[in-house]
Structure 1
Amino acid sequence: MSSTARAQKAPDTRGPVRKLLTSFGFQILASLVLGIAVGLIAVSLGASGTEHTVLSDTLDRIGSSYVTLLRAAVVPLIFTAIVASISNLRRVQNAARLAGQTLLWFAITAFIAVSIGIVLGLVIQPGAKAGEGLETGAPYTVGTWWNFLLGLIPQNFLGLTVNSSFDADAQIVTSGVGFNILQVIVVAAVVGIAALKAGKRAEPFLAFTESLLKIIQRVLWWIIRIAPIGTFGLIGSAVVKYGWDKLTSLAWFAGAIYIGLALVLFVVYPILVKTHGLSIKQYFSGVWPAVQLGFVSRSSIGTLPLTERVTERNLGVPGGYASFAVPLGATTKMDGCAAIYPAIAAIFVAQFFGIDLNLVQYLLIVIVSVVGSAATAGTTGAIVMLTLTLSTLGLPLEGVGLLLAIDPILDMGRTALNVAGQALVPTIVAKREGILDEELYNAPRNGLPFAEDLDDTDAGNTDAEQTDTAEPESDKEPAVAH
């Protein structure tokens, strides 16, 4: 079990107003409200998904710039996090058992989530209650088991892909560079395992990788600090592009999705927490900062540093195990994107086209959700999981086009649930294995979970330095010694 060493800090003399204004949760909520208000103002001034104004373009640029910042760090973060997480298993007792327990609970919670999704789809019948004006359309990407398996084979070391398109009217070829996240995961996993097998000769490489990971995470802490600004732009732009009117024709479907997400997050997860003898209140207070950022960023990978931080710092999961389980969960643990959503969406498509599903097809939905979660790869790509489900069931892929209009709105809730589950499973497994720091789990939640670390150098400072330079309680977190 990891031990905790709390540094001495100056007393927090801030007033209640300043405490509220500097609260990360308050800043996110205020940005949500302000973004909605400004988005509605933009709509009233004539902005829409097709009509642009200065205000709507400004909101779009603010939101898209923040997402671009997150995505820029995705590839180096995934590579270093997975290599470091695999190498960290050498420091954990019963590593194989912990890995097996983690995967088992990923499957258990996914099974519960997809079962809830199927029940809600059958009870609410969103496809039979869909409004008029919906248009079918072929998905921009299709997930199949064959493509998924082929996608695991790296085309190059970085998983680099280049896509080109030709504009016949302008006679211009445009190209864009991207990364196949699944291939990056495979390369990182192979490198991590090889480093473990290499033994002492790989120690310098592993030390470099862990150091690089810390640097990348520090950059991401800076990005996370400006999350309220990104929230303002993303929410405001969403109101302009999709508006509330888009929800009317798919209101039953959106309602079914969010009911399912709420049932898992606020009923299933608390039951699992309680049955393991842990405080529900402490779980939510510990994980909530990461859930908020997941809701805004719509990316489990983008939220990974904060998810790992709250899992270790707030929920008391040992650092060596958390650094393995959370990155693994960020790429494969998707109760929202890979369980509830594809289950309800597949039933919606079947009902919309008047296709009756049989028992075998419902069982296939469960199997695809439990086994195929890695197809989403931690990105904002639940459409891949949906097309994988539809193709497995033999349902029309054109049904994906029915749901694209409100997908960003649904993706916020899906990712929030994903993140909550990615922190829950390591906590449960750590508790079952007797390695959870329950004192830390039950400790008061003081400070921002993404505050600057007190590293070894800082910890070695004199008492005078610690007293004179100590930041307010909300700006520093306890140091954790592994």
Structure 2
Amino acid sequence: MEKHTEKNGIFGWYFKTNLLVRILTGLILGAAVGIVLGGFFPDAVKPFVDKTKFFGDLFIRLLKMIVVPVILFSLIAGAASIEPSRLGRVGVKVMVYYLFTSALAVAIGLAFANLIDPGAGFNVIGDAAVKGRVAEAPSISQILLNIIPTNPIESLTKGDVLPIIFFAVVFGISLSYVKTSSNHDLARIGGILLDAVNAAAETMYKMVKGIMQYAPIGVFVLIAQVFAQQGPRAIGPLLTVTLAVYLGLLLQVGLVYGGFLSMFKLGLIRFLKGANEAMVTAFVTRSSSGTLPVTLRCAEENLGVPRTVSSFTLPLGATINMDGTAIYLGVCAMFIGNAIGLPLSFNQQILVILTATLASIGTAGVPGAGAIMLLMVLESVGLKVTEGSAVAAAYAMILGIDALLDMGRTCVNVTGDIAGSAIVSKSEGDLDLSKWS
């Protein structure tokens, strides 16, 4: 009944329209309004920015509100879902594969970003006095040491992303041992705690979904401000970001997945033919979790992955294997740094790889999750997304084209899940090779 009221109330037309269409409409209208204001009514730009600032800032604050709880609950739930009894050879192999390919994916994204240099010389304007000041980059050893929090509560309060990620993963793995304990009381308590964490994670996903209903308005306002202040030259950097992301995605499939498959004497072309239905479904739905039934069927029926393997590796992959998202994070973090005149240093790029790889463990396989991860990555390298700042304006530009980028990255996420399942099955001698002839 509530859903019916929402769809047919005074804003029924708004909620009936697909969110992707609404966000893209907000992007286009915002760009058009900004260009008209900047080109024909330059004196109206500052009053427009001042009067609409509240609506843009509101969107940024809503997103920042959910970052820490999303990290905490989703990572604990994701790590705790891995049963210790199943972390045998198959579990270890697929976990190593997922984490290694995710790290490679971020590196590929950063490589293309360094090569193409999206956002260089753009100089996004923000109202805040600070563009997003970056602290002195610590050494690599200090970066690794800083991952371990001395006080997890303090890290949560301050929003220190890497320590929160580390604590959540360790807590989740420990919880997985508690809930499978031979002690009945411990197992019962562990199960109750996991149920509570899962409920909290699902609640956060609902909040994300609700906040994204405001995204078209927030995107319209923020993009209009950017184009009013910067003019049509903002179009070029967005096209460059899209090009860099999709080139990285193609390289991940062809070089990384193709290379791993060839190491195990499996053909990339045959693999792509068997996986294409799941890849197309992922591209259209933009959801690894939503594509899972199709992914399972393609892996089993088309590529000969036994159910004993696929039923473990594919759901796990939909939770922790986000190679496409990792490429997106690398490119977009570099774009935002360049766009505000603070290019990422080598050490900061290492931080991006670490944060993106670790954060991928618990990122929800739902549309738009990558945009929340991008907030985490930016925070980890000192680019604070504060209301009115240049960082917030550059982030809004990415959010405007996020749906287009999300299609490609979700497709690659699912492709990596299937490739990992086939490789692990082959290494265990369980793969039906008749499907590959």
Tell me which interval the TM-score lies in, with the shorter structure as reference length. Answer: 0.5 to 0.7
Looking at structure 1, the residues matched to 351 and 67 of structure 2 have their Cα atoms a distance apart, in angstroms, of 27
CA distance in 1, matches of 2:150, 2:316: 22
Task: Write out per-residue CA displacement over residues 403-437 of structure 1, whole angstroms, 9 at most, x where no aligned residue.
Answer: 764233135657736655544433321132239xx
SS of corresponding position for 1:434 = helix
Residues 212, 80 of structure 1: CA spacing in aligned structure 2 closer, same or farther, 3 A cutoff? farther
User: Higher strand fraction: Structure 1 or Structure 2?
Assistant: 1
Does the alignment pair 1:101 with 2:92? no
Instruction: Please state how far the C-alpha of 1:235 moved relative to its aligned partner.
Output: 1.9
The whole-number CA distance in structure 2 between the counterparts of 1:228 and 1:208 is 30
Aligned pairs (5 A) from 1:4-43: 27-36=18-27, 39=30
Query: TM-score, normalised to structure 1's length?
Result: 0.56
Deviation sequence 1:275-300 (CA, Å, 0-9, x none): 46134653443323664xxxxxxxxx
2:132 to 139, 142, 148: 139
- Matching residue within 200, 209, 213 for 2:182: 200
Which residue pairs with 1:393 in the alignment? none
Per the alignment, residue 295 of structure 2 pairs with 315
Map 1:132-211 → 2, pairs under 5 A: 139-142=132-135, 144=138, 145=140, 146-147=142-143, 149-157=145-153, 159-161=155-157, 178-196=158-176, 199-201=181-183, 202-211=186-195
After superposition, what is the alpha-carbon deviation per residue over 1:118-177, rounded to whole angstroms, capped at 9, x for unaligned?
3323xx8x64x658999996634435342563242241358432xxxxxxxxxxxxxxxx
* Aligned-pair identity (%): 9
Matched, 1:115 2:111: yes
Write the distance in 1 (CA, Å) between the matches of 2:90 and 2:187.
Answer: 21
Show the counterpart of 2:272: 278
DSSP 3-state at the match of 1:117: helix
Q: Give distance in 2, aligned partners of 1:342 and 1:132.
A: 14
List runs of 5+ in structure 2 lacking aligned partners.
1-11, 259-267, 300-309, 361-372, 384-388, 432-437
2:326 to 323, 327, 334: 334
Within 5 Å, which residues of 2 pair with 1:375-414? 378-384=373-379, 405-410=393-398
Distance 2:68 2:251 in 1: 35
Partner of 1:442: none
Aligned residue-pair number: 356
Which residue identity lines up with residue 51 of structure 1 in the other structure? Answer: D
- Counterpart of 1:82 in structure 2 is 78
- Which residue in 2 is equivalent to 1:432? 423
CA contact (8 A) 2:84 2:177 kept: no
CA distance in structure 1 between the partners assigned to 2:49 and 2:339 by the alignment: 28
Equivalent residues of 2:122, 2:338 under 8 A apart:
no
Counterpart CA distance in 2 for 1:87 and 1:108 is 26
CA distance in 2, matches of 1:111, 1:231: 30
What displacement does 1:81 show? 1.8
Q: Does 1:232 align with 2:216?
A: yes
Q: Is the CA contact (8 Å cut-off) linking 1:88 and 1:321 kept in structure 2?
A: no
Equivalent-residue separation in structure 1 for 2:353 and 2:328 (angstroms): 12
Contact 1:84 1:209 in 2 (8 A): no
d(CA) in 2 for partners of 1:343, 1:59: 23
2:50 is paired with a residue whose SS is coil
Q: Does the 8 Å CA contact 2:24/2:401 hold for their aligned counterparts? A: no
> 2:23–2:219: 8 Å Cα contact kept in structure 1?
yes
Match of 1:288 in 2: 283
Q: Greater CA deviation, 27-36 or 413-422?
A: 413-422
Change (3 A) 1:257 1:141: same
Alpha-carbon separation, structure 1, partners of 2:55 and 2:349: 43
Q: For the residues of structure 1 that align with 2:354 and 2:409, how far apart are their CA atoms? A: 16
RMSD: 5.0
Q: Secondary structure at the match of 2:425?
A: coil
Q: Which amino acid aligns with 2:394?
A: I
Q: CA separation of 1:230/1:148 partners in 2, compared to 1, >3 Å: closer, same or farther?
A: farther
- Report if the CA contact (8 A) 1:83-1:189 is conserved: yes
Q: Look up the SS of the partner of 1:200 in the other structure.
A: coil
Q: Answer whether contact 1:131 1:248 (CA < 8 A) is retained.
A: no
Please say if residues 36 and 235 of structure 1, whose CA atoms lie closer than 8 Å, have aligned partners that are also in contact: yes
The residue number in structure 1 matching 2:247 is: 263
Q: Retained in 2: the 8 A contact 1:247–1:254?
A: no
CA deviation vs aligned residue, 1:364-423 (integer Å, no higher than 9, x gap) = 8986665564587835144456669xxxxxxxxxxxx98764233135657736655544
Matched residues in 2 for 1:218 and 1:381: separation? 19
**1:17-47 Cα distance to aligned partner (Å, 9 max, x none):** xxxx99x997023312443466479766957
Q: 2:182 is matched by which residue type in structure 1?
A: K
Q: 1:39·1:236 contact (CA, 8 Å) conserved in 2? A: yes
Counterpart residue identity of residue 230, structure 1: Y
Paired position in structure 1 for 2:50: 51
Aligned AA (2:326): M
What is the identity, as a one-letter code, of the residue corresponding to 2:165? I
| Change beyond 3 A, Cα 1:288–1:321 | same
Question: For 2:132, what is the secondary structure of its paired residue?
Answer: coil
Structure 1 contact 81–213 (Cα < 8 Å) conserved? yes
Task: Note closer, same or farther for the CA distance 1:26–1:191 as it changes in structure 2 (3 Å cut).
Answer: same
